[in-house]
Amino acid sequence: MSKDRPSPDPRPPEPRPEGYDPGVFAPFAVTVDVVLLTVVERQLKVLLIQRGHPPYAGAWALPGGFVQPDEDLADAAARELLEETGIGQDRSRLLQLGAYGQPDRDPRMRVVTVAYGAVVARLSEVPRGGSDAAHAELVPVADVQSDRLPLAFDHRRIVGDAVARLRAELDTSDVAVGFCPPEFTIRELREVYEAILQTELDSGNFQRKVTQRKGYLTPTERRVTPGERGGRPATLWRAGDAGD
Amino acid sequence: MSKDRPSPDPRPPEPRPEGYDPGVFAPFAVTVDVVLLTVVERQLKVLLIQRGHPPYAGAWALPGGFVQPDEDLADAAARELLEETGIGQDRSRLLQLGAYGQPDRDPRMRVVTVAYGAVVARLSEVPRGGSDAAHAELVPVADVQSDRLPLAFDHRRIVGDAVARLRAELDTSDVAVGFCPPEFTIRELREVYEAILQTELDSGNFQRKVTQRKGYLTPTERRVTPGERGGRPATLWRAGDAGD
DNA sequence: CCAAAAGTGTTCGCAATACACCCATGT
DNA sequence: ACATGGGTGTATTGCGAACACTTTTGG
């Protein structure tokens, strides 16, 4: 990658693996953070943990932590999510959002974090299998974006970027079905869209748009029994072939 | 700001809970790589340098290098690009593409790289003001993707991702005008699209589509004098307000 | 019966496509 | 005059938005 160049590094050179020039390689910490989103009662929520130690002790933050020396980034994200919240997520379902590396983003040392996005079906409560996360909770994304609920580090920005990315990919990818349980009604899927886009969608047009999209949904034989106030029973659908 | 640098012990520290434990994190090297694209004679090309030292000595690679301790990631990308190729690029014109951190992507040590994309107007030759880059050259992207020209590390994949991203953003962003000089004809812009999408576009429809798009282009009073074989002189256009 | 929710049909307008045609220049 | 490339007009088609309407349930 890089070759000999003047050594502008004010720090004493670290002992280093052979082959790299001293004075050029400064050690960084690399972490991963996970933006886990879910829709509960028509509201988009993000999973946060309450920090137990400084800096930002007591503040809310994204689950995440250090990448281990021989660990892939996505694996680290999955592991941290499991350790801190008890939620197991396949690494293939984690979408990389980007790297955040402003020099002062951590007050103590240079940390570059790689953010990952994850999506789960309506999760009402956090499993609490986490090793030692002080506290994990689902909070409305709106509270984060309005800054009514301040986050540690640059995590508010990361959440904002994640939501923007989610909105952009709603129509072109299969993310939305990730917010639904294995079998779901079109209404349920529509409410996911509405929570994310913050708009109302025409139910009839949505129905067509989503059922006609190839490989997106597959119908089951089962129907749902209507609520107390009646109504035609809705078909249950599964994620389509393309989403597997 | 705590300054205790951990010794770069290659062995992993104990798997530990969330939270910072300065002195126990595993040191990573963080680098940036730049995928600089340009269109020359209807061909999409990427700027590569020839490596002078192992690993991959003599192989082609993306320009890039280590991030310095107090340097922002985008700044590092701009600096490395300038140092290795003599091309100055504003950091705001560098688009982050993502982080690549597979444990074995560098044979000697753990390196996480953050890739940035850049776009310049038809660049026929590399400035050669680079400090020490052995050799820098523009090569057809097709040669990289077909693996006819193998690249060091995982750089082929990074280039592939960059091109995919470029294609996806062609219609929704202003990237394409970045491939054109300050004043350009619609034909020139169309050839950029054609080189990137690998298709032929109807010139008439392209004209309308691109001129009607609000804030995308602004006409000048100037025309271009036709070539030797005649033809109606084309209007010169500038990037629109939205692209500033 | 009516209310409510699922799902379909119908219409309209816009935007993309195909392609014919006119415009302004060089030789 | 003719070739060449710039630019506009026009017909067609497909898709999304708006919304009326039918279907199937509970009360």
Quote the pLDDT of residue B17. Answer: 41
Task: Label residue A132 by pLDDT band (50, 70, 90).
Answer: low
| Cα distances (Å, whole numbers) of residue A178 to A38, A51, A186, A207, B222 | 9, 28, 13, 18, 53
A4 contact residues in B (CB cutoff 8 A): 132
Quote the pLDDT of residue A125. Answer: 73
Task: Label residue A10 by pLDDT band (50, 70, 90).
Answer: very low
Angle, CA of A227, A231 and A233, to the nearest 5°: 80
Q: Encoding tokens for residue B241?
A: 């307000």
Q: Could you tell me if B68 and B76 are in contact, meaning their C-beta atoms sit under 8 angstroms apart? A: yes
pLDDT tens per residue, range A15-33: 334 344 544 567 899 999 9
Task: Label residue A8 by pLDDT band (50, 70, 90).
Answer: very low
- B134 CA to D4 C1' in angstroms comes to 45
Mean pLDDT of A115-140: 80
Mean pLDDT of A86-92: 94
Question: Does the pLDDT at position A145 exceed 60?
Answer: yes
Q: Which residues pair with A114 in a beta bridge?
A: A32, A99
Residue nearest to nucleotide D24 (CA to C1'): A232
Alpha carbons within 13 A on the beta-carbon side of B224: 17
Computed from CA positions of residues B207, B212, B216, B222, in that sequence, does the dihedral angle turn out positive or negative? positive
- CA of A66: which chain B residue's CA is closest? B25
CB contact under 8 Å between A132 and B54, yes or no, is no
Question: Does the pLDDT at position A233 exceed 60?
Answer: yes
Residue nearest to nucleotide D16 (CA to C1'): A205
Higher-pLDDT residue of A101 and B230 is A101
Q: Which residues pair with A227 in a beta bridge?
A: A230
Quote the pLDDT of residue B168. Answer: 94
Which residues 10-29 of B have a C-beta within 8 angstroms of A?
10-12, 15, 17-20, 22, 25-29
CB contact under 8 Å between A29 and B25, yes or no, is yes
Q: Which nucleotides of D are covered by protein (CB under 7 A)?
A: 3-9, 16-21, 23-27
Q: Could you tell me if A177 and A229 are in contact, meaning their C-beta atoms sit under 8 angstroms apart? A: no
* pTM, rounded to two decimals: 0.89
CB contact under 8 Å between B26 and A66, yes or no, is yes
Q: What gap in Å lies between CA B178 and CA B67, rounded to an integer?
A: 26
Residue found under tokens 């580090």: A153
pLDDT in tens, chain B (244 residues): 333 333 333 333 333 444 445 445 678 999 999 999 999 999 999 999 999 888 999 999 999 999 999 999 999 999 999 999 999 999 999 999 999 999 999 999 999 999 999 999 988 777 665 555 558 999 999 999 999 999 999 999 999 999 999 999 999 999 999 999 999 999 999 999 999 999 999 999 999 999 999 999 999 999 999 988 889 999 999 998 875 6
Residue B236: phi and psi, rounded to 5, are: -95, 140
Cβ neighbors of A140 (< 8 A, separation 6 or more) are A43, A44, A45, A46
> Residue B2 burial (CB < 10 Å; 0-12/13-18/19+)?
exposed
CB atoms within 10 A of CB B157: 14
- CA of B100: which chain A residue's CA is closest? A73
Which residues 133-172 of A have a C-beta within 8 angstroms of B?
133
Quote the pLDDT of residue B142. Answer: 98
**Residues around strand C, C-beta < 7 Å:** A 185-187, 203-205, 207-208, 211, 226-227, 229-235; B 202, 204-205, 208-209, 223, 225-226, 228-233
Report which of B179, B152, B131 is spatially closest to residue B61, judged by C-alpha positions.
B152
Establish, for the pair of chains A and B, how many residue pairs have beta carbons separated by less than 8 Å.
Answer: 166
Identify nearest nucleotide to residue A200 by CA to C1′ distance: D17
Quote the pLDDT of residue B4. Answer: 34
Q: Is the peptide bond before A55 cis (omega within 30 degrees of 0)?
A: yes
> Residue B93 burial (CB < 10 Å; 0-12/13-18/19+)?
middle
pLDDT tens per residue, range A40-84: 999 999 999 999 888 999 999 999 999 999 999 999 999 999 999
Q: What gap in Å lies between CA B110 and CA B96, rounded to an integer?
A: 21
- CA of A73: which chain B residue's CA is closest? B101
Quote the pLDDT of residue A129. Answer: 53
Distance from CA of A165 to the nearest CA of B (A): 13
Quote the pLDDT of residue B133. Answer: 53
Quote the pLDDT of residue A12. Answer: 34
Q: What gap in Å lies between CA A136 and CA A48, rounded to an integer?
A: 6
Q: Could you tell me if B95 and B117 are in contact, meaning their C-beta atoms sit under 8 angstroms apart? A: yes
- CA of A101: which chain B residue's CA is closest? B73
Which residues 41-70 of B have a C-beta within 8 angstroms of A?
52-55, 61, 64-70
CB atoms within 10 A of CB A9: 17
Quote the pLDDT of residue B134. Answer: 59
Interface check A83 vs B, CB under 8 A: yes
Computed from CA positions of residues A9, A14, A17, A22, in that sequence, does the dihedral angle turn out positive or negative? positive
